[in-house]
Amino acid sequence: MASLSMTQIRTGNSATGFSLNCGGKVQARPCRVGFKVFASDNNSNNKASSEPDLSVTVNGLNMPNPFVIGSGPPGTNYTVMKRAFDEGWGAVIAKTVSLDAAKVINVTPRYARLRAGANGSALGQIIGWENIELISDRPLETMLKEFKQLKEEYPDRILIASIMEEYNKVAWEELIDRVEQTGVDAIEVNFSCPHGMPERKMGAAVGQDCALLEEVCGWINSKATVPVWAKMTPNITDISQPARVALQSGCEGVAAINTIMSVMGINLNTLRPEPCVEGYSTPGGYSARAVHPIALGKVMSIAKMMKSEFDMDKYSLSGIGGVETGGDAAEFILLGANSVQVCTGVMMHGYGLVKKLCDELKDFMRKHNFTSIEDFRGASLQYFTTHTDLVQRQQEAIRQRKATKKGLQSDKDWTGDGFVKESESMVSN
């Protein structure tokens, strides 16, 4: 039986001619990536062929699995990125770089954690993580040298550079040119860092302003010759709007979500906020398991927009937020994500986490007889609708005797004595 193998090739790109008003699906455009398709004989019909295949091809990038190191401390230098490749991560996104690292000055402590249990008991499970960390404080020249070294040592593995720059076209073009010379496979643009230097129109300051985002994406996509992902901020009312602009402006994919702006808490003994630096703090980015449901909601919103307005075979979506298990990852993929990023999870559990993620994702696939990621990618997206539609569906089901009334039917039926049982009677699982 013939099988297909795909090899990435890079081509020129034009990012012009994209309208912000999208009537129907976006048409195909000149693309930075393409595929050469080769047929090869594969007559084996043995156990290996029935084993779930975790490999994915995203924007022409071939990954052994969909698990990607998210931009942050786990990708901050050569040593840790090499460790990630050695452990088996599908791809690595380096910590965000800019032209001038001298303006990046971190403080410590810069992390705070939220634990489950009464008053955040020190024995409770970590469910939330806040950081006030900035982008890379290492000289750009050093990071570029390490990117090049990694690509020389791991030519078949995917290394993605994360970049962020001030509102300056020349600076963006220079940064892209220098990063691409190292041989990186793609670029993720940080339009989403919730703290740091918004006064310089960096990070979320761009991602929250669609007009500014369109302009900067135009600069970037006119210059870049490798696939570009736009990393979206959740700190906005409708995340599908900037995601749409990024794709219409030439990006091959979007990634969501970055961290959520937060104040972790106040120390009730000292009355000082956490994390505490010389008695003071600043709002930071919230991540870990507690943000997972929020991230799923944002990814769902983007995926529905992409499905209705874009050809999802030509664009990609990378899900981020609270991934610690294979099941967490499966949820993002079921909503349409091509890849799943992990950052805080690595900080909590180490680089070996990828083995657990792969094993658990394979278990999920075996349970449902899925043999590839594409077998179930986006399968759950169809089940999201409006509340009005839910009411109509249930009323029709009752009329057709295909549903049994469950729980209370009106607010007047609640009682004080049976409140807990009445609440449980309306839970779906």
Helix (H, G, I), strand (E, B), or coil: what is residue 167?
coil
For all residues of the chain together, what is the average pLDDT?
88
Nearest residue to 165 (alpha-carbon basis) of 155, 175, 156: 175
Mean pLDDT in residue range 136-153: 98
Q: With the CA atoms of 231, 216, 131 and 254 taken in that order, what torsion angle do they form, in degrees rounded to the nearest 10?
A: 0
Q: What is the pLDDT of residue 33?
A: 64
- pTM for this predicted structure: 0.86
Residues in the chain: 429
Range of 121-130, 200-209, 281-290 with top mean pLDDT: 281-290
Q: Among 3-12, 118-127, 188-197, which is the least confidently predicted range?
A: 3-12
For residue 404, is pLDDT > 90?
A: no
Which residue type sits at 323?
V
Q: Binning pLDDT at 50, 70 and 90, where does residue 314 land?
A: very high
Which among 22, 31, 193, 276 is annotated as catalytic?
193
Q: What is the pLDDT of residue 44?
A: 40
Active site residue 193: yes
Q: What is the pLDDT of residue 203?
A: 80
For residue 46, is pLDDT > 60?
A: no
Mean pLDDT in residue range 8-12: 41
Contacts of 385 (CB under 8 A, 6+ apart): 393
**For residues 292 and 262, what is the distance between their CA atoms, to the nearest angstrom?**
15
For residue 9, is pLDDT > 80?
A: no
Let me know the angle formed at the C-alpha of 142 by 145 and 254, rounded to the nearest 5 degrees: 80
For residue 158, is pLDDT > 60?
A: yes
